[in-house]
Amino acid sequence: MTTATLNRLKRTATKARGFVQVPVKTYRQLLDAAIPTYYLTGKAATDLDKLVKEGLREHAEGKTRTIHSLADLD
């Protein structure tokens, strides 16, 4: 790394009140633990499965459209 890069990292770490270095494996475990996982059962799971299946079918048939903003839904 160049001196400029190191100085930029030092300033960023100082502004952020520190810097933590962890192995990639540990980082991924922390990342996975930070995102909640929901497991649906019963009617909620069945309804969601039907909704996803219908959406995938419509996408495969070309019935969906690409939008760039929620304003495009009007």
pTM for the model stands at 0.45
Q: Comparing C-alpha atoms, which of 22, 57, 9 is closest to residue 1?
A: 9
1-47 pLDDT, tens digit each: 677 777 777 777 667 677 778 899 998 888 888 878 788 999 999 99
Tens digits of residue pLDDT in 43-65: 999 999 999 999 999 999 999 98
pLDDT at 12: 74
pLDDT reported for residue 4: 77
